[in-house]
Structure 1
Amino acid sequence: MRIGIVCPYSWDVPGGVQFHIRDLAEHLIRVGHEVSVLAPADDETPLPAYAISAGRAIPVPYNGSVARLNFGFLSAARVRRWLHEGDFDVIHIHEPTSPSLGLLACWAAQGPIVATFHTSNPRSRAMIAAYPILQAALEKISARIAVSEYARRTLVEHLGGDAVVIPNGVDVDFFARAEPKAEWCGGAPEAGKGGSTIGFIGRIDEPRKGLPVLMRALPQILAARPLTRLLVAGRGDEEEAVADLPAAMRSRVEFLGMVSDEDKARLLRSVDLYVAPNTGGESFGIILVEAMSAGAPVLASDLDAFAQVLDQGEAGELFRNEDADALASAALRLLADPQRRAALRDRGARHVRRFDWSTVGADILAVYETVTAGATSVATDERSTPRFWFGLGRE
C-alpha cells in the first residue's frame, strides 16, 4: 500500500504528535508498505528518507502551548505537488483542524482520507467558531481516529461525527531492553548512599508540562529524603526552573538537556520513580506508556487522559492535579515502599502491551483497508483552496 502521512507540526521540534507519526511511518515501512511523510521543517533539519519538507514553520499559540505550524501559498503548492507525485492509496492526516498542512491537505485531496485527532480541549470556542470554515474539509474525510476517549469527546462535541479510538503506539521492547545508566540510578555516587532518583521528561518552560508543580513539591521531598535527586530531560531555561528552590537544594536537580531516544529509554530504566505532573491539555500521555514500558513506577497528575492510560490508578499512581503537597506525599510514600513500586512495575508491564505497535499498527492498517476497499487512489482536488486561508500567514 502507498501511504501518505501529513504531520502538522515542525519535524525539528520534539512533540508527541511528531513522535507518533515517526514511529507509525517506521512501523508501516517495516511491515512492507511504501510511506511518505510531509512535514514542516527548516532547511537545515535532517530528515529521514521517508520524510519531505513542506517548508519552515511559524510559531503559533495552540491548545495551551506554542505549536510550529506551516501555511500559506507556498505550503499549499507543496501539498498539491506531494499529492500528485505520491499517487497514494490513502493519506493519513493528523490534526486536520489545526491551521497547518493537515487542513491544506484536506482541501487539496480527494479520495481515501483518514484523519487522526490528538487534541483534548473540552472548551474550545475557537474550534466551535471555526466549524463553518472547516466543514467542507472535514466532510472529505473517509474515516476518523481519536487517540483517546477524551480526544474523541472533543471531536464529537465541537465538530460532530464520531471516531474510532486507537491509542498512540510505543515500541515496548525498545524501552524494556534499554540498559540502566549507572550514574542515573539511585545507588550511584551522585545520589548518595541510600539516595533515590526521580525522573521528569518534558519541555521545561511549558507550564502545562508541570515542572513548576514538581519544583514546589521538591522541598518537602528533600526535607524527608535529602539524598533524593531529580533528573530533568528537556529543553528550556534551567536557571529559571530552579529559581524558587532554596539555594542549598538546587544541587539535587540535574538537568540533562535534550536526550536521544536511546538515552530517554535508559533514563526511564534508571529512575526509582517517574513523575508526570502535567496540568492540562493532554489527550493521551505517551510518556506514561514509555515509562511503563521501561519498568519505571509512575506517579502522575489525575488528568482524565492520564487516568485512562494508567488503568484508573492500577498501573500507576495518581495525585490531585496541581497540588504540590499531594505530589510530595505520594512520592515520599512510593520512594519508601519498594514493594509497592515493584507491584506498579509488574502491573504496568502487563498493561502496556495494549499500546505496542504490533497492536496499534494493525488497528490503523485495518482502518486504511476499510477506506481503500474498492476506492481509487488519492487525487488532487481541482477546486481552489479557500482564499481566506492565505490571509493567515506569509512565508
Structure 2
Amino acid sequence: MGLVIDDSLDRPDGVQQHVLTLGAWLTGQGHEVHYLSSTTVRTDLANMHSLARNLRLKFNGNRLGIPLPAPARPITALLGSVDFDVLHINMPYSPLLAGRVITRARPGTRVVGTFHILPWTRLTRWGTRLLGLVQRRQLRRFTRVIAVSAPAAVFAADALGVAPIVIGNPVDVARFAQARDVELAREGAANEAAPVRIVFLGRLVERKGAGELLRAVASMRALTQTPVQVVLGGTGPLREELETFVGGHGLADCVEFIGYVTEEDKAALLAGADVVALPSTGGESFGISVVEALAASRGVVLAGDNPGYRTVMEGLEDQLIDATDTPAFATLLTRYVDDAAARTQASARQVVHAGRFDVNVIGAQVLGVYRG
C-alpha cells in the first residue's frame, strides 16, 4: 500500500494522524506500507518517500503545506520499483504531487481516496469545487472514495462529483483509554479540595474556540464557588490576545498556557482533566481530538456543536455546546464543575463510545475497501 499525502508527515495534524495511525495498523497486520509525501525529514518511518518540497500556508483555518511541483523522475522510479496494489490518496489533493502519482500509477493499481475537509470559508468551498472541475477526468481513476463523516461526504459529492462511503478517522483508542485507567487508579489518592481541572487542547486560532472557553469561564464565576484550574494546551496566533483577556478579566490566578503538547504527553493531559472543553465553532469534518478525549478523560468531554464533532458525539448530544452562546456555555460548564458524579458517569459512557473509531475497527473497514 502507498499512503499518499501532499503535506509533510513531520507535524501531528489531523490528516497526518490519519495516515500514521492507519499505516502503523496496516504494518502490524503484515502489509507493506509506503508513505509518499512532500518534504518530510523524520527518520522513524520505514519506506518513507519525500517526493517534493512544500510551501507553508493557511487553508480552511488551518496551517498546511502544499507541494511545489514534484519532479517526475523520482515518482517514476518509485512506481517502477514498487508494485503497489493500492495507492491511498488523501483528499483534496494537489495536481503537483498526488495528481502526478495517480497519472503514473500502473493500470493494475487500485486508487482509493479519503476526503477530509468541511469548508469553513467560502474560499475553501469554491477552491475545492474548482479543483474538482480540473480533476474530474482523473477522479475516474479512483476505485472508491471514502469520506471521514457524512457532512464531508455531502461536500465531496457536491464539489468533486464523487459518491463517497463514510468511514471515520482511525484512532488508537487503546492508548488513550490506558492513560484513563492509570489516572483512575491514582484518583483515590487525589486531593478532593483540588480545583476542578478544565483542559483545552488545540490550535490557538479563532475557529478552535479557546476564546469562547475563556469567556464562558469568566461568566461562570458568577454561577459557582467551586475553584477551577483552566489549562490551555497548544500554540497559535491568538495567544497574546487570549493572555490579554485573561489579565483583563481577573483570570490569571486560574488560567495556565502550557504551549505545545507533544503526542507523547497528550494522553496524560487529557486523562488528568475533569472537563475537556473542545469548543470548535466550525470547519471540522470529523474530530480526532474529540475521540481521543472521549477515550482518555476521567471526566466529561464538552465539544462544539458543529457538523464534524456532532458526527463523533452521536449519542452524547447533551455534551455538545454552541460555544458562541456564552451564557449557555457557562451554564453547562457550571453543571459539570459542580457535579463530580455527573463527570464520572459521562466518562464511563464516553470510553465505550470512542471504541467506534478504534483503529482496529476503522482499519478493517478501510482494508475492505482496498480489497473491493
- Checking the alignment, whether the CA contact within 8 Å between 2:136 and 2:161 is kept in structure 1 is no
Task: Give the equivalent residue in structure 2 for 1:24.
Answer: 22
Change (3 A) 1:203 1:161: same
Identity level (%): 33
SS in 2 for 1:28: helix
Q: CA deviation at 1:140?
A: 0.8
Task: Give the equivalent residue in structure 1 for 2:270.
Answer: 268
Query: In the alignment, residue 37 of structure 2 is paired with which amino acid?
Result: A
- Checking the alignment, whether the CA contact within 8 Å between 2:218 and 2:251 is kept in structure 1 is yes
Change (3 A) 1:255 1:50: farther
Change (3 A) 1:181 1:232: farther
Deviations 1:288-337 (A, max 9, x none): 111111134111111122112111535x6011142233222111111112
Task: Give the equivalent residue in structure 1 for 2:208.
Answer: 209
Q: Does 1:51 align with 2:48?
A: yes
Q: Does 1:71 align with 2:68?
A: yes
- Checking the alignment, whether the CA contact within 8 Å between 2:212 and 2:323 is kept in structure 1 is no
Deviations 1:254-280 (A, max 9, x none): 222222323110111100011111111
- Checking the alignment, whether the CA contact within 8 Å between 2:226 and 2:338 is kept in structure 1 is no
Aligned residues: 361
**Of the candidates 311, 318, 321, which is equivalent to residue 314 of structure 2?**
311
Q: CA deviation at 1:176?
A: 1.0
Q: CA deviation at 1:188?
A: 7.2
Query: In the alignment, residue 153 of structure 1 is paired with which amino acid?
Result: V
Task: Give the equivalent residue in structure 2 for 1:161.
Answer: 162
> Which whole-Å CA distance do the structure 2 matches of 1:202 and 1:131 have between them?
30
> Which whole-Å CA distance do the structure 2 matches of 1:50 and 1:203 have between them?
30
The structure whose RCO (Cα within 8 Å, separation 6+) is larger is: 1
Deviations 1:324-355 (A, max 9, x none): 33222111111112222222112212211111
> Which whole-Å CA distance do the structure 2 matches of 1:329 and 1:104 have between them?
52
> Which whole-Å CA distance do the structure 1 matches of 2:300 and 2:266 have between them?
15
SS in 2 for 1:366: helix
- Checking the alignment, whether the CA contact within 8 Å between 2:70 and 2:97 is kept in structure 1 is no
SS in 1 for 2:49: strand
Query: In the alignment, residue 49 of structure 2 is paired with which amino acid?
Result: I
Task: Give the equivalent residue in structure 2 for 1:60.
Answer: 57
Q: CA deviation at 1:8?
A: 2.3
Change (3 A) 1:297 1:51: farther
> Which whole-Å CA distance do the structure 1 matches of 2:275 and 2:114 have between them?
32
Q: CA deviation at 1:209?
A: 1.4
User: TM-score scaled to structure 2, two decimals?
Assistant: 0.88
Unaligned runs of 5+ in 2: none
- Checking the alignment, whether the CA contact within 8 Å between 1:178 and 1:262 is kept in structure 2 is no
SS in 2 for 1:235: coil
Task: Give the equivalent residue in structure 2 for 1:175.
Answer: 176
Q: CA deviation at 1:38?
A: 1.3
SS in 1 for 2:113: strand
> Which whole-Å CA distance do the structure 2 matches of 1:252 and 1:355 have between them?
34
Change (3 A) 1:42 1:262: closer
Query: In the alignment, residue 88 of structure 1 is paired with which amino acid?
Result: F
Task: Give the equivalent residue in structure 2 for 1:364.
Answer: 366
SS in 1 for 2:93: coil
Query: In the alignment, residue 344 of structure 1 is paired with which amino acid?
Result: A
Q: Does 1:341 align with 2:343?
A: yes
Task: Give the equivalent residue in structure 1 for 2:305.
Answer: 302
> Which whole-Å CA distance do the structure 2 matches of 1:39 and 1:97 have between them?
11
SS in 2 for 1:274: strand
Task: Give the equivalent residue in structure 1 for 2:12.
Answer: 14
Following superposition, which runs of at least 4 residues in structure 1 exceed 6 angstroms of deviation? none
Task: Give the equivalent residue in structure 2 for 1:102.
Answer: 98
Change (3 A) 1:36 1:209: same
> Which whole-Å CA distance do the structure 2 matches of 1:170 and 1:148 have between them?
14
Task: Give the equivalent residue in structure 2 for 1:389.
Answer: none
- Checking the alignment, whether the CA contact within 8 Å between 1:42 and 1:57 is kept in structure 2 is no
Change (3 A) 1:59 1:319: same
User: TM-score scaled to structure 1, two decimals?
Assistant: 0.84
Q: CA RMSD in A?
A: 2.6
Moved more, 33-42 or 216-225: 216-225
> Which whole-Å CA distance do the structure 2 matches of 1:282 and 1:201 have between them?
15
Q: CA deviation at 1:66?
A: 2.9
Deviations 1:45-88 (A, max 9, x none): 444224222243212332232321113143x5443333223221
Change (3 A) 1:99 1:201: farther
**Of the candidates 76, 81, 85, which is equivalent to residue 85 of structure 1?**
81
- Checking the alignment, whether the CA contact within 8 Å between 1:232 and 1:254 is kept in structure 2 is yes
> Which whole-Å CA distance do the structure 1 matches of 2:151 and 2:132 have between them?
19
Q: CA deviation at 1:244?
A: 1.6
> Which whole-Å CA distance do the structure 2 matches of 1:174 and 1:217 have between them?
31
